[in-house]
Amino acid sequence: MQLVIVESPAKAKTIEKYLGKDFKVLASYGHVRDLPAKDGSVRPDEGFAMDWEIYRDKQSRFKEIADAAKKADRLVLATDPDREGEAISWHVRELLAKRKALPKEVDRVTFNAITKQAVTDAMAKPRELDQPLIDAYLARRALDYLYGFTLSPVLWRRLPGAKSAGRVQSVALRLIVDREREIEAFRAEEYWSVIATMEQDGTEFAARLVKYDGTKLDKLTLGDRGSAMAARQAVEDSRFTIEEIETKPLKRNPAPPFTTSTLQQEAARKLGFSASHTMRLAQSLYEAGAITYMRTDGVQMDGSAIAACRKAVSERYSGHYLPEKPRIYQTKAKNAQEAHEAIRPTDFSRDRAGSGDEGKLYDLIFKRAMASQMAAASLERTTVTMRDPTGRHELRATGQVVKFPGFLAVYQEGFDDKGDEDEDGLLPVMHKGDSPLKKGVDANQHFTQPPPRFSEASLVKRLEELGIGRPSTYASTIQTLRDRAYVRMEKNRFFAEESGRLLTAFLERFFERYVAFDFTAGMEDELDTVSDGREDWKELLEQFWKDFKPKTEEVMDKKPSEVTEVLDEFLSGYLFPERADGKDARHCPLCEAEGRDGGRLALRGGRYGAFVACANYPECKFTRQFAAPGGSEQGGEDAVLGHDPETGLPVERKTGRFGPYIQLGEGKDAKRASIPKDLDDFDLEWALKLLNLPRIIGPHPETGLEIEANIGRYGPYLRHDGKYGKLTSTREVFEIGMNRAVDVLAQAANRGGAGGRAKAEPIKLLGTHPTSGGEIKVMPGRYGPYVTDGTTNATIPKDVKPEDITEAQAVELIDARAAKGPAKKKGRKAPAKKKAAPKKKPAAKKAAG
């Protein structure tokens, strides 16, 4: 018997169909072991020795592999054809050898696509494990471990509130923070454009003023309303004649097939998918045999695939759409060992695969690959120049037409940020000497725009341009930034949270070299030299460690107050921007209001993170929160918002273990309420409203029982007669009237069915399950919160908050539960037999007195 090891059960199922009865295919379910998350797992003083630990949830699965290996004559390691795949095979071999279950014959095979031909060809050409590739994995894993486990304790002790730092993660965060700084430093400039609406032979077109009073106009030349209106009047008063018509033929060639990076970028632009979601879908398509391997830097296609693609083009389109010669694309990847074939369909006669999001991604991959072998698009760009009789004023109109679509008939590449002067339209037929009719002239005001915030697509593109990290790791890197709440997403753009800004400032000030773009990119180059056998992995680690370790010790020796003082100066422009009234930006507003002297603000470190506080503390309790998501101006520790008009007690805003809250009074009798995240203008008025919840709306018109509005663990809600209805926002709790409340409760009852109980609302939505295709939801349950894809429910561990669970964690929990099979129904217990009542002992006769 021959035992074949792959990563996933889906891949195992597909491959098993192609191999004969002599083969048994088992899945490792990804990596089987890792470095334990504790100090000492990598020991630099012992030649970077590493301790490995098998995952708890993989122990029973690996036992199945070990038991099968003992009976096998040959072991075939058929994991993915990249560094991680090589590492998984190495781990499996090492563990089997340790358990004395390794067959005499051990082979490694790789294939770029899970098709019968690719699998059988690979089986016929086995090789040994690639040791340089394994060394590159060991170096990268040890490097990331040493960076994280050495730097993170420094953060915890010297920068309270910081959660972790990573080699690539910290640099990606710096890119987002730097862009935030650029946007803040940006000062908009006013400019105007003058556009004339012209007409020729019944067709309207727009012409831009490009020369005024003999001066060529740049973007900012017309910088105020006065000059713009003067230019507009000059155009209105003039008669323009066409003096130049220039027509240029243009050709556009198709983009190459997808790499990992370009797939993530296009899926984000065209489909709105996150990088992690794209990679899960691609993994599923690969394991189903629909596409080639999806972790690649290569843009080249196999010769047989090019032939199949060209055949598909000729079958679908006329001969004009097929170029005379095949298009050959060259990879720009620095490391040839890790550059595989581009991502493409395994069968070009199959234009559909998968369903839902999988189907959408396959369609994108199919069209991009097919377009890459199609003819160039032919376009024609026309520029028409019109001048007044003096020649001092000039209008210009541009238009572009597609003469032959070529590859554009199938696919057009997306762009992250388009310019604001695209004038690609159809112009009417015009000749020199014509004087088109002027129908109107507009002067339009504009303002220069700051650089756009990063989208997932543009961030991935920038990381790749800088040579930072690997495209296959970008999805997990970006997800970590979101999970740590260092960044947030709004309208598909990254915003740096204040905790992310603080961490970046700390690293820039104390570990500048290790968040420098050139250092991180240079480290990637060195790791590439290890993977192709040109550098020893331990020497690379030694060079890193001899500088990094002393640097962390130097920072650890500093007092927290010293660190805060340095950051206060480093961030002064951000924390204390210039005031409109000209006063000192560090002047304490509370001390000013209460007539105290010496109230000066500065950055301070607290138990739950950094915050801005007054030098007059504890007399002055003014604080302003810094390192919390959303960074409210009123945040902080022990900030007095004002006094309750009824009791006269202070209303304080505090930060606790579970976030910001308000408190009225002290001790056991104090009233407290959490501060909802959707209140941007939080003040004393809002604090008093929250402290007075629940709000009674009034008696229900049918039952006469009270309807109550309140805020609970899962957000704002209504309650009436033991039934609930969900509200959309905190504001609605205080604004909703009786009619709307009755309607919300009725809708909730209808969703809940005949029983009238309102259907539970999801705590969180997490995208689509990569295998089942069902929507993943985090739900409240009778016996605790759980995750579900609509088919399988999995309980969330007690030590994990349901609000914090990530999509990857949810998929893992659901898959683990599904692997156990359906829950066994417990048989009805027979009623317990009644015990016979104990016989009463006869009462002892009392002795005669």
pLDDT of residue 659: 67
All residues at 6 or more sequence positions from 452 whose CB lies less than 8 Å from its CB, including other chains: 416, 417, 458, 493
Q: Residue 397's pLDDT is what?
A: 94
Report residue 844's pLDDT band, with 50, 70 and 90 as the boundaries.
very low
What would the two tokens of residue 680 be?
């941007």
| pLDDT band, very low/low/confident/very high, at 627 (cuts 50, 70, 90) | very low
Does the structure show a pLDDT above 80 at 638?
A: no
- Distance between CA atoms of 329 and 477, rounded to whole angstroms? 29
Query: What pLDDT is recorded for position 653?
Result: 80
Is residue 443 classed as helix, strand or coil in its secondary structure?
strand
At 624 the pLDDT is 75
Model confidence at 587, pLDDT cuts 50, 70, 90, reads: confident
Dist CA 108 CA 652 (whole Å) = 65
pLDDT surpasses 80 at 591: yes
The pLDDT confidence band at residue 824, using thresholds 50, 70 and 90, is: low
* Distance separating alpha carbons of residues 730 and 728, to the nearest angstrom: 7
Does the N-terminal peptide bond of residue 618 adopt cis geometry, omega within 30 degrees of 0? Answer: yes
- Is 527 or 754 the better-scoring residue by pLDDT? 527
pLDDT class for 613, splitting at 50, 70, 90?
confident
pLDDT of residue 416: 56
| Residue 536 pLDDT | 93
What is the pLDDT at residue 607?
A: 67
pLDDT at 129: 94
DSSP string, 241-271: EEEEEEEEEEEEPPPPPB-HHHHHHHIIIII
pTM exceeding 0.75? no
In this prediction, residue 755 carries a pLDDT of: 38
Check residue 840 and give its pLDDT.
47
Q: Which of the listed ranges 82-96, 462-476, 793-807 does the model predict with the highest average pLDDT?
A: 82-96
> What is the residue whose two structure tokens read 């199945």?
64
* Least trusted range by pLDDT, from 443-457, 554-568, 800-814: 800-814
Task: Answer yes or no: is pLDDT of 841 > 50.
Answer: no
Q: What is the mean pLDDT of residues 139-164?
A: 86
How far apart, in Å, are the Cα atoms of 262 and each of 107, 343, 413? Answer: 33, 10, 10
Question: Which of the residue ranges 36-45, 211-220, 782-791 would you say has the lowest mean pLDDT?
Answer: 782-791
CA distance 618 to 612: 14
The rounded distance, in Å, linking the Cα atoms of 594 and 549 is 49
Q: What is the pLDDT of residues 682-724, one digit of tens each?
A: 778 888 889 999 999 999 988 889 999 998 877 899 999 888 8
Dump pLDDT digits (tens) for 33-69: 999 988 889 999 999 999 999 988 888 889 999 999 9
pLDDT for position 778 = 86
What average pLDDT does range 132-143 have in this prediction? 93
Q: Is 471 a residue whose pLDDT tops 50?
A: yes
pLDDT confidence of 417, banded at 50, 70, 90?
Answer: low
pLDDT for residue 238: 94
**Among 109, 131, 116, residue whose Cα is nearest residue 5:** 109
Max mean pLDDT among 607-611, 753-757, 837-841 falls in: 607-611
Q: Which of 176-190, 227-241, 534-548, 789-803 has the least mean pLDDT?
A: 789-803
In the prediction, which pLDDT does 831 show?
Answer: 52
User: d(Cα 448, Cα 446) in Å, to the nearest integer?
Assistant: 7
pLDDT grade for 598, boundaries at 50, 70 and 90: confident
Decide if pLDDT at 484 tops 90. no
Q: Answer whether residue 767 shows pLDDT above 90.
A: no
Q: How large is the average pLDDT for residues 248-270? A: 92
- The more confidently predicted of residues 258 and 772 is 258
Res 845: pLDDT: 40
Q: pLDDT digits over 456-466, tens only?
A: 888 988 998 88
Q: Which of 72-86, 494-508, 825-839 has the lowest mean pLDDT?
A: 825-839
Instruction: Answer yes or no: is pLDDT of 87 > 60.
Output: yes
- DSSP strand pairing (671-674 vs 695-699): unpaired
> What is the reported pLDDT for 137?
92
801 versus 141: the higher-pLDDT residue is 141
Checking if the pLDDT of 637 tops 90, the result is no
N residues, the chain: 849
Catalytic residues: 293
Question: Quick one: pLDDT at residue 338?
Answer: 47
The answer to whether 471 touches 82, Cβ cutoff 8 Å, is: no
pLDDT, position 833: 52
Phi, psi of 698 (to 5 degrees): 145, 180
pLDDT (0 to 100) of residue 784: 78
User: Could you tell me the pLDDT band of residue 527, with boundaries at 50, 70 and 90?
Assistant: confident
Q: What is the mean pLDDT of residues 117-139?
A: 92
User: What's the pLDDT score for residue 827?
Assistant: 47
- Report pLDDT for 231: 95
Q: What is the mean pLDDT of residues 307-326?
A: 91
* Listed range (102-116, 179-193, 309-323, 596-610) with the worst mean pLDDT: 596-610
Please give the pLDDT value at position 10.
80
Counting residues of the chain whose pLDDT is more than 90, the rounded percentage is: 40
pLDDT for residue 846 is more than 70 = no
CA atoms of 508 and 174, how far apart (whole Å) = 9
Scanning the structure block, which residue is given the tokens 């949270």? 497
Q: What is the mean pLDDT of residues 330-342?
A: 61
pLDDT tier at 822, thresholds 50, 70, 90: low
Q: What percent of the chain has pLDDT above 70? A: 89
**Would you place residue 336 in the very low, low, confident or very high pLDDT band (cuts 50, 70, 90)?**
very low
Range name among 143-157, 395-409, 548-562, 754-768 with the lowest pLDDT average: 754-768
pLDDT of residue 823 exceeding 70: no
